Amino acid sequence: MYYYIINPSAGKGAINTIQDKLRDRLRELGIAGEFAKTTGPGEASKMATAAIEKGYNTVVAVGGDGTVNEVINGITKDNVAVGIIPIGNSNVLANHLGIHNWQQAAAVLAARRLTSYGLIAAGSNFFLSTLTLGFETDLEKRVDTVPEAKLSDKLRHFGRGYNQAQNFTPLKCLISVDDKYELECDLFTLTVANQKFLNPLADNRLIVSISDKPSKTQTASYMWRRLQGKQPTDDGATTRFLASRVIIRTEPPTGIMVDGKLTTRTPIAIRLTDRHIRFITEKPQEGLQG
């Protein structure tokens, strides 16, 4: 039984143009179910919980990263499968799972290949993919979101972001790792992700990547990826380690983005939980299977 939670604001109302075609396709594939639209932030979590209580065993987030994050925060049982139909501005989670558009997503849902991912707790929030802090959260506050249409607007955005990066003062950071050691550094950006999201065959572990002040080339590369709507890579990272639990303090305290959305501030404890989410995914890419 499939329950589709649609965010009507995702992708600037993308659902309005594909709604009928999507429903027809899902019906053809034999996976039509109940459709429900959210009316505000945070509602997708409550709707997911309510759907599970009603007996649905598959909850599908129709939206972007924010919608998926809300849905997984509402999953209360381990045996529920979560699917994604990516129609948001940012679809990093879906891309990690090998899902790139709604047509492909429908086929993936019908094939129903399940991969289990450990949930990461950041304070009171749960997430699966990526937590970031540092320059990126600063950029989110000071520079508007990536413009879609004109090349001149995009270039202006690139220039402002680039200047912001060059003038960014690194944060003083202290990280306690698994209660075994403390790491002290100046940081430009820090990301925490589930290692399994980067490599489906790896264990569920936190992978923490830190970069100090990047070079001009790295800054330009970072801004270019951002303009393309892609997740920054950790290519510029100068420090990288695995952990099960970290406590991050910064001076001054700074905002934290979880799956592309500003949620809380440092200090924060981040840990891998015992809870798992079963995602409906495209099969692991060739070459990752060792």
SS (HEC) of 6-18: ECCCHHHCCHHHH
Site for another protein, rule CB under 8 A: 177, 180-186, 210, 212, 237-242
Q: Quote the least distance from Cβ 286 to another protein, whole Å.
A: 21
In this complex, which beta carbon is closest to another protein, that of residue 140 or of residue 212?
212
Residue of 190, 144, 143, 131 lying closest to 167 (CA atoms): 143
CA distance 66 to 263: 11
Q: Quote the least distance from Cβ 285 to another protein, whole Å.
A: 20
In this complex, which beta carbon is closest to another protein, that of residue 109 or of residue 210?
210
Determine if the peptide bond prior to 8 is cis (ω within 30°).
no
In this complex, which beta carbon is closest to another protein, that of residue 30 or of residue 287?
287
CA distance 17 to 24: 13
In this complex, which beta carbon is closest to another protein, that of residue 150 or of residue 180?
180
CA distance 82 to 251: 38
Q: What is the rounded end-to-end Cα distance, in angstroms, of the chain?
A: 35
Q: Quote the least distance from Cβ 235 to another protein, whole Å.
A: 9
CA distance 180 to 177: 6
In this complex, which beta carbon is closest to another protein, that of residue 104 or of residue 244?
244
Handedness of CA 38, 279, 16, 258 (dihedral sign): positive
Q: Quote the least distance from Cβ 221 to another protein, whole Å.
A: 16
Q: Quote the least distance from Cβ 255 to another protein, whole Å.
A: 23
